[in-house]
Chain A
Amino acid sequence: MLSSMLLGRYIPGDSIIHRLDPRAKIVSVVLFMIIVFFANHWIGYGLLILFVLGLIRTAQINLFFLFNGLKILLFILIFTFLLHIFFTRGGTTLVEWGFIQIDSEGVITGIYITVRLVMLLVITTILTLTTSPIELTDAIERLGSPLRKVKVPIHELAMMISISLRFIPTLMDETEKIIKAQSARGSTFMTGRLKSRINALIPIFIPLFISAFKRAEEMAVAMEVRGYTGEAGRTSYRELKWQLRDTAAILVVILFGVLLYMVRM
C-alpha cells in the first residue's frame, strides 16, 4: 500500500526539470500556486491542464504512474467535488429530489475547484519527484537565510529536516519488521473490534519508540564526535549554482501567469 504512494518521494532522473536549481523550482512552485487562482473559466483551466501536462512530459514522469500514486488522495478530491455540487447555488437547477438540489453552477464550480486542487497536487509532486530531499533542504536553508536576521534558526531547521528525511526509510523498514514480528506472534491488528485493534498497536509503537530514541541518541553522539557544534564555522560541501536556465524557468512561469491573467473573463 505504502509502496505505490508518491507523496514526498524522489525518483532520480536527468530531465531538465531534474537539473534545475532547487531554489528555482521552489520559487516556481510558489508562483504557480498563486497563478492557479487566475483561472476563472474553461479556457483558463484548459491552459492550466495543458501547462501541467507539458511539465510532466518535460520531467519524464510516467503519467499513469503519477496518477496511480496520487490515488490515495482521491477521497479528498471527491469530497471537495461533492461539497460544491450540493452546496453551490446558481444557474439552472439540474436535479431536485427531496432536500437535495443540484445546480449547474455547482457542477461547474465543483469541476473547477477539483481541477485546481489536482493541479496544485501534481505540481508539488513534480517538485518532490524531481528534487532530492537534500536539494530541497539546501534550497530551503538558502532561501530562508534572510529569516536568520529575525532569529529563526534556519540552519538547525534545515538540518532537522534533512536528518528526518534521511531516517524515514530506516524507520519505515523498522516499522514493517516490527509489524511482521508481532504478527508472527499472532497479533491481529488488521482485524477485530476497534478497541482490540488499538490495543494491538501498543506492541508496535513501544518497540518503535524505543528504537527511534536509541537511534537518535547514537546519531547525536556520532555527530558530536565528528565535530558538529551547530552552524558556526561550518562550510558547505554542496554548492547551488544559479544558471541562465533557472532564470528562464521562472520567466516561463511568470509569462504563463500573465497569459492566464489575460484570458480571464
Chain B
Amino acid sequence: MIKIDNLTYRYQADAPKALDDISLSFKTGDWVSIIGHNGSGKSTLVKLMMGILEGYSGEISVDGEVLTPDNLQRFRERFAIVFQNPDNQFVGATVEDDVAFGLENQGLPREVMLERTEAALEAVNMLAYRRHAPARLSGGQKQRVAIAGALAMEPAVLILDEATSMLDPEGRSDMLAILNDIHKTRTTTLIYITHDLGEIEDSDYAVIMKDGKVISEGTIEHIFSDTDTLIESRLVLPYQMQISRALLDGGYVTHDELVARL
C-alpha cells in the first residue's frame, strides 16, 4: 500500500504551490490512473514519489515505511518509471542492454540478469528484437522496451508518466494491452499518469487533479458520475461520455453499453 499524507510542494519559495495538501492511498496491485491537464501537479507528484525532487512537506510511505533521504536508494528500488519521451530514456546500445541497465546497477549476477531480461522482453513482446539498436525501433517499441526495463527490476510500483502521449494510436493500444496483461498476471501496482480520460477505462481507481489539488477520486464509475467537475478541470470527455451526457443520464457507459442503451 502506498500512502501519501498532506503532501505540499513548491518549485521555488515564492512560486505557487505545485502540490497543495495532497492525501491519497493506493492499494497494492491496483491500476491507478492520475488525470489532470498540464500543470495540474500530476508529474510533480510522481517526481516526489521517486525522490527526484526534495524539500516537500508531508509524508510518503510504502507498506508503512516512510521515505527519508537515508532510505532513498532502497525506496527507489520499489518504484520503476517509464517517462514520456521514448528516445530520452533508452540508455543501452541495444534492446537487451537497455533492459539489463537497471539490473547492472543493482549489482545482480549475470545469470539472474539473463533470465530476467529475457522474461521481461517476453512480457512486452519484444524478445525478437533483443539485439536491435534503438534507431531501428518505432516509438511504441521503444516504450515497450522501457516497460521491460522497468519490469525486469521487479518493482512493487510501476509508474507510467504520460508514457503513451507521444505514440501513434497503434503504439498506444499496444501499450495499453501490455499494461492490461501486466495488471492481470502480476501484483505490481500501476500508476498511470495521463491527460486523456479516454485511456482510463481499464483502471481500478482514478484520481482527478487540478491546480495541485485532488478534485475527485474513486472508481471509474464514480469519477464519471460527475462530468461537470471533469469539464471544469479542463479535461475532455471521451465520446461515449459526451453522448451519455447529452442523450442518456450522463452516467458512465462503455461503447457497448452505449450502443445497447440508445
Instruction: Check whether chain A touches chain B (CB < 8 angstroms).
Output: yes
Chain A residues at the B interface, C-beta cutoff of 8 Å: 132-134, 137, 162-163, 165-166, 169-170, 214-215, 218-219, 221-229, 233-239
List, sorted by A's number, 29 A–B pairs whose CB atoms are closer than 8 Å: A134-B94, A134-B97, A166-B91, A169-B133, A215-B88, A219-B89, A221-B52, A221-B83, A223-B91, A224-B52, A225-B52, A225-B80, A225-B81, A226-B91, A226-B149, A227-B73, A227-B76, A227-B153, A228-B105, A229-B73, A233-B105, A233-B107, A234-B107, A235-B104, A235-B110, A236-B104, A236-B110, A237-B110, A238-B97
Give the contacting residue for B105; candidates A166, A234, A238; CB below 8 A. A234
Chain B residues, CB < 8 A from A228: 91, 101, 105
Number of A-B contacts (CB under 8 A): 93
> Which A residue's beta carbon lies closest to that of B135?
A169
CA distance A132 to B93 in the complex (A): 9
Chain B residues, CB < 8 A from A236: 104, 110
Give the contacts of B90-119 with A (CB-CB under 8 A): 90-94, 96-97, 100-110, 113-114, 117
Give the contacts of B40-56 with A (CB-CB under 8 A): 50, 52
Residue-wise interface mask of B (232-250) relative to A, using a CB-CB cutoff of 8 A (1 in contact, 0 not): 0000000000000000000
Chain A: minimal CB distance from B67 (Å): 14
Give the contacts of B130-188 with A (CB-CB under 8 A): 133-135, 149, 153
The list of the 9 closest CB pairs from A to B, nearest first, reads A134-B93, A237-B100, A222-B89, A227-B105, A218-B88, A169-B135, A226-B102, A233-B107, A215-B88
CA distance A136 to B128 in the complex (A): 24
CA distance A96 to B248 in the complex (A): 100
Give the contacts of B64-94 with A (CB-CB under 8 A): 73, 76-77, 79-81, 83, 85, 87-94
Number of interface residues, chain B, beta carbon within 8 A: 39
Chain B residues, CB < 8 A from A239: 110
CA distance A165 to B92 in the complex (A): 10
Chain A residues, CB < 8 A from B87: 170, 215
Chain B: minimal CB distance from A7 (Å): 17
Chain A residues, CB < 8 A from B103: 235, 237
Once the chains bind, are B105 and A229 in contact (CB under 8 Å)? Answer: yes
Chain B: minimal CB distance from A63 (Å): 26
Chain B: minimal CB distance from A230 (Å): 9
CA distance A234 to B110 in the complex (A): 11
CA distance A165 to B91 in the complex (A): 11
CA distance A222 to B89 in the complex (A): 5
CA distance A162 to B133 in the complex (A): 12
Besides A226-B105, A228-B101, 6 new A-B residue pairs in contact (Cβ under 8 A), listed by A number: A166-B93, A170-B134, A170-B135, A215-B88, A226-B153, A234-B107
> Which B residue's beta carbon lies closest to that of A237?
B100
Chain A: minimal CB distance from B84 (Å): 9
Once the chains bind, are A235 and B153 in contact (CB under 8 Å)? Answer: no
Chain B CB within 10 A, most for which of A132, A169, A222, A223: A222
Residue-wise interface mask of B (20-44) relative to A, using a CB-CB cutoff of 8 A (1 in contact, 0 not): 0000000000000000000000000
